[in-house]
Amino acid sequence: MIVVKFGGTSMADAAAIRRAGEIVRTRLKREPIVVVSALSGVTNQLLQVGAQAVEGQLVPAMATVQALRERHLNEAHALLGDTASGLEVAGELSSMMDELAALAEALSVLGHGTPRAMDKIAALGEQLSSLIAAAAFREMGLAARHVDARDVMRTDERFGKAEPQPELISEAARRVLSPIIRAGQVPVLGGFVGATAQRVTTTLGRGGSDYSASLIGAALRAEAIEIWTDVDGMLSADPRVVADARLIAEIRFDEASELASFGAKVLHPSTIAPAVKLGIPVYLFNSRNPAGTGTRITFEAPHRPVTAIAGKKNVTVIKVRSARMLMAHGVLRRIFEVFEQHRTSVDVVATSEVSVSVTIDDTTYLEALLNDLQPLGDVSVERNRGILALVGSGMSDDSQAMARALAALEGARVHMVSLSASGINLTLIVDGDQVDPGIRRLHAAFFGRQVA
């Protein structure tokens, strides 16, 4: 059994949904369970409807409801036509849209939306898309069967970002999904959506469909999880910066996590952790290029010195200098406590005997941070810095990698360097405007071709 998950762009319209169906067809022997996202952009639109309604802007909210109604009905019609199933699906879609309109009106009267009400709205995207996909797959001759995700994905009551309950999900998956598979059918369910013990609708947080796929895969000990998006897989660098970035055939989970923290948007590795931890491989594939080889993410992919080059801009460096640190203890704790108090996560750290430098991305609480750091030493701030990172779990075993990286960056000012003890990355803090050229130079040094 495998889990096949289609993201929003792989569900964007009738043509995309048909492509998804063809992909499922090629997997039938492996007993697929299909998990789908909402049609692309729909979750954002739904949340916007909720927000506008709460602010009393019912007219634009209803205009969006109408646009959503038309889009779903049009795509469903393109897939199903006026068949009996087409009419049935159209009826169901319509009543879901009526429910959305009623919810929007209620929220605008209340002038207030609870997370619980917002989840009811946000969940509609996957409820609509899964219904359409299941019917479309059947129309294509696949024995697809729609499953309400709320029958499987049990969560707690933290609306907006509910915590899944793996044991209950396992039990429900065996009870609801396994018999469908045994009957030779293909279950199709929406990702992202869950329900509490009282069957109140919840959502798993943005991007939650990958999480759903991973949880279901883990629950049923799937052989593999396939995540279908609109890119070929993970690349050795951001292709907008490095034109000849390469597809990474196989990447370790920790490397993928590191890359995600640099904004690699393909997927958020924490969402696939439940499956990867059980040794279930997760593949990334492009639904527009189904013949592609994709990227395989596992815990035990080989250690390489450099798997990818990443970078980010708009990084702020905070330095605390104090002669009192010399031979003192507890100073680091006091410094980091300040960051903890102001809920600011620290990224790169470099220390000397008399100074500590840290980088942060989020400057929301910068002023408060600086105030509270003041008593601990001389504090200075450097804005518009950037981070360059060489990500590779074998980095620390390769004595030449660091020399090569520094040589590639010759001439650029390097403000901080940090090699993580786990060897997962070598991080260099440079001027913000050196990030893109730096990525190109490092990529050329480690992957060849293209010069900065």
Residue 214 CB, shortest distance to ligand ASP, in Å, is: 11
Question: In the complex with ligand ASP, which residue's Cβ is closer, 210 or 238?
Answer: 210
Residues whose CB falls within 8 Å of the CB of residue 330, separated by 6 or more in sequence, listed in order = none
* Contact indicator for 226, 297 with CB cutoff of 8 Å: no
**Nearest distance in Å: CB 205, Mg ion:** 11
Contacts of residue 60, Cβ cutoff 8 Å, sequence gap at least 6? 52
Amino acid letter for position 372:
D
192: amino acid identity, one letter: F
423 binds, among ligand ASP, Mg ion, none (CB under 5 to 8 A by kind): none
Q: Which is nearer to Mg ion, 8 or 86 (CB)?
A: 8
- Residue 119 or 238: the one with the smaller Cβ distance to ligand ASP is 119
Question: What is the contact mask toward ligand ASP in residues 114 to 143, using x (rule: CB under 6 A)?
Answer: -----------x------------------
Question: Does 191 interact with ligand ASP (rule: CB under 6 A)?
Answer: yes
Q: Are 127 and 190 in contact (CB under 8 A)?
A: yes
Residue nearest to Mg ion (CB): 8
Of positions 6, 8, 121, 228, contacts ligand ASP by CB under 6 A: 8
250: which strand partners? Answer: 296
Which residue stretch of 36-44, 219-227, 248-256, 367-375 sits at the interface with ligand ASP (rule: CB under 6 A)? 36-44
Rounded CA-CA distance 201/342 in Å is 33
Give the shortest CB-269-to-Mg ion separation in angstroms. Answer: 15
Q: Which lies closer to ligand ASP via its Cβ, residue 207 or residue 377?
A: 207
**What is the spatial distance between Cα 307 and Cα 424, in angstroms, rounded to a whole number?**
10
Pairing of strands 193-195, 186-190: unpaired
CB of 46 to Mg ion, least distance (A): 12
Interface with ligand ASP includes 187 (CB under 6 A)? Answer: no
Binding to ligand ASP in span 324-383, by CB under 6 A = none
Interaction between residue 32 and ligand ASP (CB under 6 A): no
Residue closer to ligand ASP (CB basis): 164 or 423: 164
Q: Applying CB under 6 A, which of residues 137, 192, 228, 339 lies at the interface with ligand ASP?
A: 192
Q: Does residue number 262 form part of the binding site for ligand ASP (CB under 6 A)?
A: no
Binding site for Mg ion (CB under 5 A): 7-8, 37
What minimum distance in Å lies between the beta carbon of 37 and ligand ASP? 3
Interacting residue with ligand ASP among 9, 43, 52, 418 (CB under 6 A): 43
User: Facing residues of 382 across strands?
Assistant: 317
Q: Which of 9, 10, 37, 130 binds ligand ASP (CB under 6 A)?
A: 37
Chain positions contacting ligand ASP, by CB under 6 A: 7-8, 37-38, 43, 125, 191-192, 206-210
